[in-house]
Amino acid sequence: MKRVITAIVVVAIFLPVLIFSDTLIFPIAISLMGGIAAFEILSIRGLHKKPYLLIPSVIFVMICPLVSGTDFFPALISRNYNFLVVSFPAYLILMFFLAITFNRKVAFSDITYLSMCISYVALAMFSVPFIKERARLDYLLLIICPCVTDIFALYGGKKFGNKKLCPAVSQHKTVAGFFFGILGGVVGAVAYGIVRYAVIKGEFDVLFLVVSGIGISIVGQYGDLAASIMKRSSGVKDFGNIFPGHGGIMDRFDSILASFACAFIFLTTYKGIFSLI
């Protein structure tokens, strides 16, 4: 019951963010989510108690969606690619220097963990407004497919799952759940396409929807496993308890973050998005 109530509250909070996605509310909300996610990544290893790690990591992640929301910050339109090229290596170099400076206070393994995880989340947060401004309604696929995937994987795994998918990372993921999740991704994508076609009478490309559903579902499930390996390596069950019964931001949005990050890489590589700016 707690999980159901929390799910309703989450929808009530984030539905207005989607409704007002063409205003400053959207990148600001994503920025706040990013800050919380960064804090969770640090806190599960006790690194939030070290301000020289906490402050640059949280600020770095929170700036990313604000910079990429180019419709709201037109002065940055020609600079968001430069921001990526400079900021990510700069953050990694800073972490390397901090590992040397504070070598007696923080383990190098913790710096490695932090550098990888924060960079991953920062890229995902940068990607959300960036893709939303260019893909318009189709960015919703990157939210809908992972959510439907999670539902199908959960119930499909419970009903038919015997063989574990990746027991060293997660004891709850099963092979059956993985394939049911892919089915869910396709169902979510096609359902989105049907609603989109009914509302705006746009093109209904079944092949695009099916391929997108499969790809987003697989990436999202890997994102779920990525969050699991972060927690397992840190000896915790959840990233936080901001959502009772669901955990923290990283627990709730792990698959969506992976979907946006990978979609950004795909679009910039194969679609030449930066040629538009």
Per-residue pLDDT for the chain (277 aa), expressed as one digit of tens each?
A: 554 555 565 566 666 667 666 778 888 889 999 999 999 999 999 999 999 999 999 999 999 998 886 555 554 444 566 777 888 999 999 999 999 999 889 999 999 999 999 999 999 999 998 888 777 778 889 999 998 998 899 889 888 878 888 888 888 889 999 999 999 999 999 999 998 888 887 778 899 999 999 999 999 999 999 999 999 999 898 898 887 777 889 988 999 999 999 999 888 877 654 443 3
Rounded Cα distance, 252 and 76, in Å: 30
pTM of model > 0.85:
yes
Closest CA to 192 of 182, 183, 204, 180: 204
Task: Give pLDDT, residue 277.
Answer: 39
Residue 170 CA, chain-centre distance (Å), reads: 19
Could you tell me the residue ranges of all domains in the chain?
A: 2-276
pLDDT value of position 76: 47
> Which contacts of 107-111 are long-range, i.e. CB under 8 A and separated by 24 or more positions?
110/45, 110/47
| The pLDDT value given to residue 70 | 56
Q: How far is CA 92 from the centre of its chain?
A: 20
Contact call for residues 251 and 240 (beta carbons, < 8 A): yes
Q: Where are the beta strands (DSSP E) in the chain?
A: 164-166, 170-174
Q: What is the pLDDT, as a whole number, of residue 12?
A: 63
At residue 93, the pLDDT reads 95
